[in-house]
């Protein structure tokens, strides 16, 4: 009886993971956005996992890109709020993602490509995973003061066990990515609001 219960629980867990993955993997993105080809995709040609998340930001593209770079480095402790962020291809970039209980997880990336007001492509530089994970941010201007921000993650895993392990933590990954995007949104919109106030 105990074995049957364990099998039933495992089956229920797998079913829940399968259902949730369809929701979490493209959180906030339209079907067209999740399926479109984006700059950086070619670095991981046949990904085992791909997610595309998106959010609207009521701020200009330049302000949003600045906050993409600044938010990640602030969370990782490698940047102060007023620091000027100046990066180029080949530079290392430490990005902190929100985690459970207020914690942040910091990952080290290398800048592969950056085009101001358009996109930035990062490749994970962590030992054992270098070249297997690509994160890209894409900014689309909607009028002068609104931006559509897309974040795509493509992962090339080499062993079946790795895929299963990532599927188990995918909801947490999605929450971390969502938290990052919302932090960028809040910072960019707050900066825009502050700059729009008339001087006293």
pTM for the whole structure: 0.77
pLDDT digits (tens, 9 = 90+) for 47-82: 888 899 999 999 999 999 988 888 766 544 455 545
Does the structure show a pLDDT above 50 at 15? yes
10 by Cβ neighbours in 10 Å (0-12 / 13-18 / 19+) ranks as: exposed
Lowest mean per-residue pLDDT among 13-22, 123-132, 146-155: 13-22
Strand pairing category for 147-155 and 104-115? unpaired
Name residue, tokens 């990052």. 180
Distance CA 175, CA 9 (A): 24
CATH number at residue 122: 3.30.530.20
Domain that holds residue 129: 1-196
SS3 150: strand
- The domain tally of the chain equals 1
Question: Tokens in use for 18?
Answer: 């399968």
Q: Which of 82-86, 149-153, 176-180 has maximum average pLDDT?
A: 149-153
Task: Classify residue 199 by its DSSP letter.
Answer: P
Percentages helix, strand, coil for the chain, rounded to the nearest 5? 45, 25, 30
């Amino acid at each position: 009886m105990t074995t049957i219960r364990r099998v039933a629980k495992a089956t229920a867990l797998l079913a829940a993971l399968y259902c949730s993955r369809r929701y979490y993997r493209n959180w906030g993105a339209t079907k067209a956005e999740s399926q479109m080809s984006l700059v950086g995709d070619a670095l991981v040609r046949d990904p085992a996992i791909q997610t595309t998340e998106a959010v609207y930001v009521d701020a200009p593209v330049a302000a949003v890109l600045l906050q993409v770079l600044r938010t990640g480095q602030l969370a990782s402790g490698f940047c102060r709020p007023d620091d000027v962020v100046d990066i180029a291809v080949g530079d290392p970039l430490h990005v902190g993602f929100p985690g459970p209980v207020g914690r942040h997880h910091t990952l080290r990336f290398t800048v592969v490509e950056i085009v101001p007001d358009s996109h930035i492509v990062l490749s994970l530089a962590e030992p054992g995973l270098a070249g297997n994970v690509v994160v890209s941010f894409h900014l689309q201007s909607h009028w002068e003061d609104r931006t559509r921000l897309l974040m795509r993650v493509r992962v090339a895993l080499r062993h079946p066990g790795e895929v299963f392990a990532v599927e188990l933590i995918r909801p947490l990954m999605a929450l971390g990515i969502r938290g990052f995007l919302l932090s960028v949104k809040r910072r960019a919109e707050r900066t825009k609001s502050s700059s729009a106030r008339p001087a006293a």
